[in-house]
Structure 1
Amino acid sequence: MNEHVKTMLELSSAAGQRKLTGEELDTLNEITTATNGLEETLGVRYTEVAPHSLTLRLEVQPIHLQPWGITNGGIYATLGETAASMASFVAAGAGPIVVGTNNNTDFLRPSKAGDVIVSTATAEHLGSTSHLWRVEHRNEETGKLLALTTLKTAVMNK
């Protein structure tokens, strides 16, 4: 197991017991950018990871926009999947594999380049084989709800 995976598992396990510290969040963000994953590609930063909730943020860049100058809806769906999948992994004890099985994202208000989207995943149901998460995507400056994601995950015990 490589060092990044080991550290990610340790942080996820800790988050299952308590809210991660600022230093731990910095480490988590360093790992997700070092692995050249989707978080790095989009510019996602985790800001809070706790036993049954997770918050991340994204500053909207021109690359995130559709031709009409507003944030592409796929960004919200991706933020919802990212937030809820990581939260589900933490809630499952950072051991089982967790995969998304249904992502429904409703778009309520537009955002544009320069806006900051704050996405907060909250557990609605935590079963032994499936979880259901509600992810609110808000404009950091105004607090207005931009989109709402409901994500179902399967907990695949080995």
Structure 2
Amino acid sequence: MKLTEEEILEQCARMCKNTLMETLDISFCEVGVDYLVAKMPVTSKVHQPDGVLHGGAMVALAESVGSAASHIFLDTKEYYIRGLEISANHVKSVKEGYVYARAEIVHKGRTTQLWDIKIRNEEGNLISIVKLTTIALPKSK
């Protein structure tokens, strides 16, 4: 049975309870055939000392959306999904509003998956480019 977009977003919201995603107020807002979008408010809670969005918060947002996308698009009944490698290039700073991270699959292998994640501000300006590699590890019986 295939889930609707609303059911997938509700499932993502449930996964966030009592996690870093809840602490950072990350929420999932859009899903498509091969992508997932999450948003995060830019407040003092995620600022670095000089008042702009902390790069670590952007990386946490990117890994959250990429890992959630792996859970959605892979068979997680039989596999655990773990982040294997992440790299980010921050190209613009943000002081307020929301940032949106869109994870798109680049490679969907049986064991490893490669995600391209673009983080943009509310005006659509590119803030950060992130590459995330995830790995599917078999659950032991």
Same fold per TM (> 0.5)?
Answer: yes
Residue matched to 1:107: 90
Instruction: Give the letter for the 1:118 counterpart.
Output: Y
- Over the residues paired in the alignment, what is the CA RMSD in angstroms? 1.8
Other structure's SS at 1:82 match = helix
Q: How many angstroms apart in 2 are the aligned matches of 1:77 and 1:90?
A: 20
Seen in structure 2, the aligned counterparts of structure 1 residues 80 and 28 have a Cα distance that, compared at 3 Å, is: closer
Seen in structure 2, the aligned counterparts of structure 1 residues 148 and 40 have a Cα distance that, compared at 3 Å, is: same
**Aligned match of 1:135 in 89, 106, 117?**
117
How much does 1:18 deviate? 5.6
Q: Is the 8 A contact 1:83 1:120 kept in 2?
A: yes
Residue matched to 1:74: 56
Q: How many angstroms apart in 1 are the aligned matches of 2:125 and 2:53?
A: 15
Residue matched to 1:20: 5
Other structure's SS at 1:122 match = strand
Q: Deviations over 1:111-154 (max 9, x none)?
A: 113x21000000000000000000000002x1000001100011
Residue matched to 1:4: none
Matched, 1:97 2:87: no
How much does 1:53 deviate? 1.0
Matched, 1:148 2:126: no
TM-score when normalising by structure 2: 0.89
Flag the structure with higher strand content. Answer: 2
Instruction: Give the letter for the 1:152 counterpart.
Output: T
Equivalenced residue count is 138
Instruction: Give the letter for the 1:83 counterpart.
Output: V
Question: Structure 2 unaligned runs (5+)?
Answer: none
Seen in structure 2, the aligned counterparts of structure 1 residues 104 and 19 have a Cα distance that, compared at 3 Å, is: farther
Residue matched to 1:59: 41
How much does 1:93 deviate? 1.9
Other structure's SS at 2:5 match = coil
Q: Is the 8 A contact 1:18 1:51 kept in 2?
A: no
